[in-house]
Amino acid sequence: MITIYFRHIRSEKLSQLTSPKAGSWLNVVNPSNTELDELAEHYHLDRSLLQDGLDPNESPRVEIEDGATYIYTRFCYSDDGRILTAPLLIVYGEQQLLTVAGRKFQRLANLMDGRTPVVTTQKTKLLLQILSEVRQSYATQLNVISKTILTIRSGLKKEQIDNQDFVTFIDIEDTLNDFLSGLVPTSSILRSLMSGRYFKLYEEDEDLIEDLSLGITELIELTKSRLTTIVNIREAYSTIMANNLNKIFKRLTSITIMMTVPMIISSIYGMNVVLPFMHSPWAFAEVMSLTAVAMLVTYTIFRRNRWF
């Protein structure tokens, strides 16, 4: 689906057009092959580079082809409780700016509905506003993950740990690593844009890029910090689980040893030889008392040495 937006600096608000014109913004979501062909032909764009923008595994980078700058990045979104990233291609053309994505980037609605004022004829500023929404998508989801990590850490002292806890840790680690794979290259892209090699920058644009780069750098450091925290928590949980398992084995071993005592005594009194108490009418009670005393002594030794 292709939606065309336009706003001049003297226009009151962003308007939606039925056909493109110079200075417009084309938002392309999950385009068909026919639409990609039309975009490539009408705007003289590289068809294969447009197709790369729909690849779910595409990494952030910058390409220049026939006067157009192709900026690949990744935005963050939540889907049915899962936090994922998806590619977003921004094409800085001679007359238009295009955004191409395989799925809808919800935060662009802030630009489309006027919550964040945009002027489509100011392509560089619009580009930076889109990248700012990308940064904010990570910031929002990272805040959710941070709260989850704090909740997990608050329950670290609990004794019962199940496999679902470790599945949660692994999912969070994968998500944070996915964040880094999107944020780190995007930070490099911003540094490349600062050089002015791809398009002309004004002083205001340079300030915006510096602020955006600083914000993404902070997100990278925060992501690394949260990743370290969740790894430490997972290792702590592993240590707790191993310790609990050792306690169980130690207790079972102690019980086994204590149960061996009556087995030994009963085996001895099962032999057809002369034994103490064999002629006593209280032989059974005496043997059982001897067994109880032996077990009590064994239990006392185990408790004193904290083996049980």
Reported as a pLDDT band with limits 50, 70 and 90, residue 18 is: confident
Residue 229 identity (one-letter amino acid): T
Lowest mean pLDDT among 64-78, 145-159, 181-195: 145-159
Counting Cβ atoms within 10 Å, is residue 165 exposed (0-12), middle (13-18) or buried (19+)? middle
Task: Render pLDDT for 141-177 as a digit per residue (tens, 0 to 9).
Answer: 888 888 887 777 776 665 566 666 667 778 888 888 8
**Proportion of the chain above pLDDT 90, given as a percent:** 0
| Dist. CA 289–CA 295, nearest whole Å | 10
Specify the pTM.
0.74
> Residue 73 pairs with which residues in a beta bridge?
88
- Helix (H/G/I), strand (E/B), else coil: 151: helix
Name the average pLDDT for the chain. Answer: 80
What confidence tens digit (pLDDT) does each residue in 20-65 have?
778 788 888 888 888 888 888 887 888 888 888 888 888 888 888 8
Average pLDDT of the segment spanning 175-188: 85
